[in-house]
Structure 1
Amino acid sequence: MPFRLPMLRLHLLLVLYFALILNWPVLLHLITILEGLEHVKVGFIISIPLLLIAALNLVFLPFSLRFVQKPFFVMMLLTGSLASYGMLKYGVVFDADMVRNVVETSPAEAESYLSLSSFGWFLITGILPALLVLLTRIEYPRWWKGSSQRLGAMAVSLLLLGAIAGLYYQDYASVGRNNKVLTHQLVPSSYVHAGWRIFRDRYLRTPEPYREIGTDARQVGSAHGDKPTLLFLVVGETARAQNYALNGYGRDTNPFTRTEKVISFAKVQSCGTATAVSVPCMFSNLTRAGYDDEKAHNQDGVLDVLARAGVSVLWKENDGGCKGVCDRVPTITMSPKEYPTLCRDDVCLDEVLLQGLDREIESMHGNRLVAFHLMGSHGPTYFKRYPDELRAFTPDCPRSDIENCSQEALVNTYDNTIRYTDWLLSQMIERLKGLESKYRVGLIYLSDHGESLGEKGLYLHGTPYALAPQEQTHVPMLMWLSPELSRSKGIDEGCLSQAASEGEYSQDNLFHSLLGVMDVATSAYQPRLDMFKPCRAS
């Protein structure tokens, strides 16, 4: 038998539920903030949940109408439950970039977040309350009485908000000014507002006309030598520079490339904290300061410019999508069904990218660039990113609810992913060495963004850039150049090694460095952003 509740009473119950249950991560964060303050007014502390209740009451009242109330709150309860779990367990912050990342996540990636604890939370805080709302028979008063009830509830909320502002405005202003992340944690306003921005930009605005860049691009110099250039560009996933032995990390996560004399760039900043931003940004000429998602998706990237100049480009995908950067160049997406020994649960180990590689390179022409998009260290199921025989650090964490693993096991698992990527890069370098009789060869590796492993209560990535810790923005970049490639390009490797250890770089450098090392002349090229330029003979 369904429950019976008057419209306003159900509305107030839902307001209380959102304020005190689904916004529990925000309240916990506020408690942590207040504990760090020297002087806190008792009245200010008491006013916080009252403020949240009054604000949610105002926001939700327009949706308490017949035929609107049930579907609206069912949707908010289900999405709010998922959002609160992400914030409570991983410290996720729902700004526009994070929501964009969620929208663009592949089913296989989404499955990696499933665990007993996530399902339990969703069942108890999302599904069950939503079912109760669906089973409730809501008693709606006559329209004039319902309108007066809503106006009365709005008046009470406005009076309460006014009283709180009058008494504690300075306290709220101080806390808000120093903790801007709070606005991205409120359920459901944070992800609803971010989702609206994405929907508006994609579907309600007139799309920018597609813009071609580097229409004058041409190959010059050594591009016309007797032996073509073959460059491997490896785009890493979720690797942070702090866990690279080559950058001073205390355990040997780079035993394989260390013997290959790779050059490690110690100070490299990402363009974003999520793949959906970093990958389009690093392949564009917009730079992080001027990056705009719509612009990046409506203009050429560096792969397009290289192809226009006559460089043969191939993209090999193992991370669920290239975020638009490979849309106009030949692309091979690794299929789990084709490589059952290297794939499980619709996800492949990155060594699958080596399959068919020699044949693919042979089918290309002239100077060649092969880009590999790795699964890398994609979490939270880090344990699925490396094979058993390359599990070096134990005990590891063979589960997706990583917050329930010990810190030692979590770091061991993550470091195993870094070590496996290092092994893969060494295999690629050996493959290039075997092709030196045909090509001048080299490799560049650059991760898209980093990862939090519990530092400051944060896990995974996607924190708004202005608030993100270094663990999410400091990324590794490695280079290996054959002696013949260095000679043909006039690159002084000693100079490059010194620049790598002393200089500061970012993903802004990739666009122009690729044009430079592939000897492509174009008005789109900016020498000051070419990492190779200072170390090349003029």
Structure 2
Amino acid sequence: MSVESMANVLAVVRRLGMSIALFLVLPLLFLLVYIEWLHAPTNAFAVHLRVVAEIAVAMAGIRLLIGLLPVGILLRRVLASVMIACVLFGFIALYAGAFVGMKFWGRVASVQLLSTYVSQGPETLKALGISLYGVAGAIGVLFLLIAIAVFWYLKKYDWVSASRETLSPATLGIVTAGLLCVFAIYVASFEAQGWAREAEPLSLALFPGQGEVGAQSHHMNFMRMAELQKGQDASRTSYVPSVDAHRSNVVLIVVDAFRADHLSLLGYRTRTTPNLEHLRSQGTMTVATSAVAVCNESFCGLRGFASSQSVANQAERPFTMHEVLKKYGYKVNLILSGDHTHFYGLSHMYGQVDSYFDGASQRGRYVNDDRLLLDHLDAQPKWDGTPVMFQFHLMSSHPLGLRFDETPEFGPGRAYVLEHGTSAQAVKSAVNYYDRGVLQADTVISELLSKLKALGYLEDALVVITGDHGESLGEHGLYTHAQSVWEESLRVPFLLMSFGQADPVSLLPAKEISQVDIAPTLLHALGMKVPDSWEGVALQVPYNRRYIDFQQNQFLGLIDTQSDALYKFWIDTRSGQKFTFSLVSADKEKTDVTGQVPAALQREWREYLIKQSATLPVDAHLGF
């Protein structure tokens, strides 16, 4: 080989090495944050770099293919710049989806879920309070800057142009075909690799069902899940319906991110629930209190309510209230705002139902527009006497829920999803926006009940109104349903109404009520046996439960209902930091009283919580 040829080869190798090094900068920075700050398993590092390497192989093949085109060098460089910019922009989108998903849902955002919101971009951005033109302009500018930077780099350090001077077109063609064939084989086997179990972000985005996750943020070992599933299946099989049940219709209305302390019905100073207050004045509302959610996320909150299970004991296919009612001959209809279909398989959690509709089932309205529930209810037939369960899911109070133009404001307010400020003005703006959503939910609930009454379903019906979890509005520097277990994150309403021939429900006095108690209470009111696998208790009868459990990611805690101070105790299992508050104190969660609690009592709490630790993150410390 001549000296000149050797120099050309070295130039190709040097430029190729530089290109590879620069290409790895973005993935390496992401992995650093993904593992260190988002607590992904370390296995994700090597697996994701392998995915990146395979994408680099495809890029090299396409680069060489462009280099073989019989066009001018300037056009080849433009085509290469656009291709590389598209790939880099794709990585940016993937990593942004990972960060957004981890922040708001506890999991890497799936392509299926994001596609719902992207397809309704204007409505989504309106809910976020972001300008469509501003986002489009920012994306366009970013892409253009990336393409220009790549073009400049290729002008000076393009390894493909150097390859053309070293290798013959035939050799380049063979190498190109080989690289593209290798990538095609890799793509064909990508799903079968199952790398989502290693928390590889692209795999999680494409195949969210593969992840070893019980529900959003809460991971569970497959063996533990199998054990729980066996118990749920046994309970499902052995359940025998009560012969003397009263089959009143059941209407469950779940409002997403519904804080109990922001309902004027429950004492909030701003009048956010005039319609619910009117229903109480008519005597139909027999229960109006709050309950402690099992977590601060939709998946485990909805599953906790439906199957009466705390986070640590939630099976993948639980024996739900919906299935119980089906055994009594009920028709079960789900009418849900929001995209439950693509939300990590949430729609499958309820079991077999008679009809299912959610925001992803239509394209006429924004996916989180609660008017689609009213539209769908208009198509329901009149009641024919067959017992029916309706479950409605409202997004009005959710930060991504659409506020109707006709819904009054309580003062200047704006979407707070991206809010980080803690000034009085920022908090007040978030509160006004949220309260407007609560007022809107109150209106939608009233309209739903009016439509159900006109169709005859309230001639004999029990109606439950609750929330899946709470919402942070600047308290402790947090917004939305951030990863926390503060009271604003967990405390949801529990309202129960009796219409027509349904028996009124009267509860025994209780210091605290758990979200897992709602379904057993409802079944008891109907004279139906509570499944033996359920954790909750029917609140109409005496019971002696000491602890109420809650968990959000690494935050694991309990409320000791038998302590006079009504202690709320929780641990950050990553840092080991402990918190104890007296819920009967005027300070509530302002004063940590851990130092005042006897060591023996704290030891009892910790021993109990260790038994509830099945869904803690892999980097949690079980020794606390």
Do the aligned partners of 1:94 and 1:190 also contact (CA within 8 Å) in 2?
no
| 2:465 aligned partner | 445
| 1:246 aligned partner | 265
Counterpart mapping for 1:12-161 below 5 A: 12-16=21-25, 60=49, 63=52, 67-68=57-58, 77-81=89-93, 83-84=95-96, 93=102, 97-99=106-108, 103-104=112-113, 107-108=116-117, 111=121, 112-114=123-125, 115-116=130-131, 118-119=135-136, 122-123=139-140, 128-129=145-146, 136=154, 139=159
Secondary structure of the residue aligned to 2:258 is coil
Give the one of 474, 477, 480 matched to 2:494. 477
Change (3 A) 1:24 1:492: same
Change (3 A) 1:321 1:193: closer
Secondary structure of the residue aligned to 1:99 is coil
Do the aligned partners of 1:315 and 1:370 also contact (CA within 8 Å) in 2?
yes
| 1:289 aligned partner | 312
Do the aligned partners of 1:450 and 1:471 also contact (CA within 8 Å) in 2?
yes
Change (3 A) 1:399 1:302: closer
Secondary structure of the residue aligned to 2:301 is helix
| 1:513 aligned partner | 521
Do the aligned partners of 1:218 and 1:310 also contact (CA within 8 Å) in 2?
no
Do the aligned partners of 1:99 and 1:194 also contact (CA within 8 Å) in 2?
yes
In structure 2, give the amino acid aligned to 1:349: D
For the pair 1:200 / 2:210, whether they are aligned, the reply is: yes
Change (3 A) 1:195 1:219: same
| 1:319 aligned partner | 338
Give the one of 381, 385, 394 matched to 2:403. 385
Secondary structure of the residue aligned to 1:425 is helix
* Post-superposition offset of 1:250: 3.2
Distance (Å, rounded) in 2 between the aligned partners of 1:253 and 1:432: 23
For the pair 1:414 / 2:440, whether they are aligned, the reply is: no
| 2:391 aligned partner | 371
* Post-superposition offset of 1:318: 2.8
Change (3 A) 1:229 1:129: same
Distance (Å, rounded) in 2 between the aligned partners of 1:23 and 1:250: 47
| 1:492 aligned partner | 506
Secondary structure of the residue aligned to 2:339 is coil
Secondary structure of the residue aligned to 2:270 is coil
* Post-superposition offset of 1:307: 0.6
Do the aligned partners of 2:460 and 2:499 also contact (CA within 8 Å) in 1?
yes
Change (3 A) 1:125 1:448: farther
Q: How many residues align?
A: 431
What RMSD in Å do the two structures reach over aligned CA positions?
5.1
For the pair 1:221 / 2:249, whether they are aligned, the reply is: no
| 1:233 aligned partner | 252
Give the one of 9, 15, 35 matched to 1:6. 15
The answer to which structure, 1 or 2, has the higher relative contact order (CA under 8 A, 6+ apart) is: 1
Distance (Å, rounded) in 1 between the aligned partners of 2:353 and 2:525: 19
Identical aligned residues as a percent: 17
Distance (Å, rounded) in 2 between the aligned partners of 1:337 and 1:122: 29
Distance (Å, rounded) in 2 between the aligned partners of 1:129 and 1:189: 28
Distance (Å, rounded) in 2 between the aligned partners of 1:474 and 1:133: 51
Do the aligned partners of 1:78 and 1:122 also contact (CA within 8 Å) in 2?
no
Change (3 A) 1:526 1:12: closer
Change (3 A) 1:476 1:74: farther
* Post-superposition offset of 1:314: 2.3
* Post-superposition offset of 1:233: 0.7
> Larger deviation: 424-433 or 258-267?
424-433
Do the aligned partners of 1:113 and 1:400 also contact (CA within 8 Å) in 2?
no
| Structure 2 stretches lacking a partner, 5+ long | 1-11, 39-43, 61-82, 164-197, 214-221, 342-346, 544-624
Distance (Å, rounded) in 2 between the aligned partners of 1:57 and 1:434: 60
Distance (Å, rounded) in 2 between the aligned partners of 1:61 and 1:73: 20
Do the aligned partners of 2:251 and 2:462 also contact (CA within 8 Å) in 1?
yes
| 2:353 aligned partner | 329
Do the aligned partners of 1:267 and 1:474 also contact (CA within 8 Å) in 2?
yes
> Larger deviation: 346-355 or 252-261?
346-355
Distance (Å, rounded) in 2 between the aligned partners of 1:234 and 1:328: 19
Distance (Å, rounded) in 2 between the aligned partners of 1:399 and 1:120: 22
Distance (Å, rounded) in 2 between the aligned partners of 1:126 and 1:23: 22
Distance (Å, rounded) in 2 between the aligned partners of 1:318 and 1:301: 20
* Post-superposition offset of 1:241: 2.9
* Post-superposition offset of 1:444: 0.4
Secondary structure of the residue aligned to 1:305 is helix
In structure 1, give the amino acid aligned to 2:529: A
Distance (Å, rounded) in 2 between the aligned partners of 1:24 and 1:250: 46
Secondary structure of the residue aligned to 1:492 is coil
Change (3 A) 1:482 1:354: farther
Q: Indicate the structure (1 or 2) with the bigger Cα radius of gyration.
A: 2
- Please list the CA deviations of residues 385-441 of structure 1 after superposition, one character each: whole Å capped at 9, or x if unmatched: 3341x3132334379876799543333222111111122333445567778998333
Change (3 A) 1:84 1:413: same
Change (3 A) 1:96 1:321: closer
Do the aligned partners of 1:239 and 1:450 also contact (CA within 8 Å) in 2?
yes
Distance (Å, rounded) in 2 between the aligned partners of 1:452 and 1:460: 5
